Structure 1
């Protein structure tokens, strides 16, 4: 791969031509330089650009160049960062995590960067769909892959990020939304809610691992040839209780972001006890921790940490509504997450 410095040094007088799509000029320059380093590309100036659907924060594009002798086209993925993402995470930290994942063989390679985004290796794989998460074979693969992910040795403080992030997002939500909205979602007492939840859920003996924190189906790729899985997109990744990461994955089973109403959640699709137990057993099997008490404790912790997931992504919805222009009903999404939090809280904590 060409260095980022080399990619950014392409002369403006030799600008590429594109069949379709509108990318930032800086991205076009990096793409052109990247293609010049591939000897099998017919013409570095000509490529096809196709927008990929389903992204909720970023804009994502597939880029194809024709190759000689009728071989498969060269491909790259362009990711343009969404508006307001700096309110949710530090982009430089996310890039470092991305590069670390690449070194550890866990994700696509970073091919280049430009001010508004980056260019990644294009994986010959398909994104999972919402129904895929309910397939027992695929679910077992996800459980094993998530266990592997949690055991990665990633630099950084090995203490939960969850509670700090929740408190930060409460402050941000209060800062960006009008008073009537803050009153509807009871944001003024949300920090106290977080404090109480942390006291109820945290335990000294809970397992902390490097967590993805956003394991929806769109962030899991199934490779076409060997049917292996790759977890992608690490914007929210950090050390956290592993029970929280599993809980967050279960909550995502209520969503289908590829419908006419992508914000609508169907909690009848939340995994039942047998599905949750099967997932946890597969998760623990890879490390030989199959004792019944270990399975039972993790299942209990996961259900309680689903509360934290509802709070976090409810806040995300409130904030996103004021900083993101993507067509998605963030406020109604937030409303559903907060409603599910209240319902689950009364059932799980008897309060």
Structure 2
């Protein structure tokens, strides 16, 4: 039989009406790796769909959403969902170099700090951390600590995973189902969103690293307020409690290894908590 076209059949219009048009600030810096990563994330439904790439940028899916604020990431239901997103990302196998580079970050940060002409002779550690840390910290103390970490790298780098490396609230989207508008910074946010849907974005700093580095970096981001208009833009009083970090990591372990007993999950969570806290 000859093929026929039925006039009652109409083509579906799936062309998106809104897209994100990304322009790379540094066109020669890691574009191929980032494009590969974005493709894999889209395929796994862990990132926006990738519609096209071109010299100097890419076109990707627009997702109605809001970035999380400093207060949002502390909400229990959202924090638990972030831990699950961590677990999903850390289980990915991405075809990029599997050399941990977190020491490069540490060396760069330390060098920037050392070059600060207004650096005080020592830093005062908040009193509520005196149980776990010295009362003061000098630049030499930091240098000694970095050398200690470097000496332990041979063991630490045996277990590395694909990491985001920059997971602050601005890189976590709260997806707006049915075009709902969520109010950030609300104390009732946990009641408003019992099952929040999140998506991680901006993987330009991603690489393979110890998972403790990725988790520890996320906890460190709690102190920064990216919406602040005037200094100081950070406060050590916002560092998450040990209880909060344990619950976050326990949820992470529970999602990755649901078959483990509760005692085994607690044991693994405590070990990972110590590593993350030291990072």
Q: Give the structure-1-normalised TM-score.
A: 0.56
What is the Cα deviation at residue 238 of structure 1?
Answer: 1.0
Alignment equivalent of 1:298, drawn from 260, 272, 278: 272
Matched, 1:161 2:106: no
Matched, 1:74 2:17: yes
Cα distance in 2 for partners of 1:180, 1:212 equals: 27
Aligned twin of 1:250: 219
Cα distance in 2 for partners of 1:115, 1:184 equals: 42
Cα distance in 2 for partners of 1:151, 1:280 equals: 15
For residues 183 and 200 of structure 1, do their structure 2 counterparts lie closer, same or farther at Cα, with a shift above 3 Å needed? farther
Deviations 1:234-278 (CA, angstroms, capped at 9, x unpaired): 001111111111101101111121121377111211100111111
SS at match of 2:151: helix
Deviations 1:5-30 (CA, angstroms, capped at 9, x unpaired): xxxxxxxxxxxxxxxxxxxxxxxxxx
Aligned twin of 2:86: 146
Unaligned runs of 5+ in 1: 1-37, 42-72, 306-351
Pairing 1:40-119 to 2, within 5 Å after superposition: 74-82=17-25, 90-119=30-59
Cα distance in 2 for partners of 1:215, 1:131 equals: 15
Aligned residues: 229
Cα distance in 2 for partners of 1:261, 1:77 equals: 30
Cα distance in 1 for partners of 2:220, 2:70 equals: 12
On the 8 A contact 1:201/1:304 being kept in 2, the answer is no
SS at match of 1:253: helix
Cα distance in 2 for partners of 1:261, 1:196 equals: 36
SS at match of 1:203: helix
Q: Which has the higher contact order (CA 8 A, sep 6+)?
A: 2
On the 8 A contact 2:27/2:56 being kept in 1, the answer is no
What is the Cα deviation at residue 114 of structure 1?
Answer: 4.5
What is the Cα deviation at residue 183 of structure 1?
Answer: 9.2
Alignment equivalent of 1:220, drawn from 164, 169, 172: 172
Q: Give the structure-2-normalised TM-score.
A: 0.69
For residues 125 and 262 of structure 1, do their structure 2 counterparts lie closer, same or farther at Cα, with a shift above 3 Å needed? farther
What is the Cα deviation at residue 301 of structure 1?
Answer: 0.5
Deviations 1:168-211 (CA, angstroms, capped at 9, x unpaired): x479x68xx9x964795999999886443222466358642111
On the 8 A contact 2:78/2:196 being kept in 1, the answer is no
Deviations 1:104-142 (CA, angstroms, capped at 9, x unpaired): 221012233444433221012222121111100100011
On the 8 A contact 1:255/1:262 being kept in 2, the answer is no
Pairing 1:1-351 to 2, within 5 Å after superposition: 74-82=17-25, 90-167=30-107, 169=108, 181=116, 184=119, 194-200=146-152, 203-204=155-156, 207-225=159-177, 227-261=196-230, 264-286=233-255, 287-288=257-258, 289=260, 290=262, 291=264, 292-305=266-279
On the 8 A contact 1:170/1:187 being kept in 2, the answer is no
Deviations 1:74-109 (CA, angstroms, capped at 9, x unpaired): 211122333x686xx523222221222222221012
> Once superposed, what is the RMSD of the aligned Cα atoms?
3.6
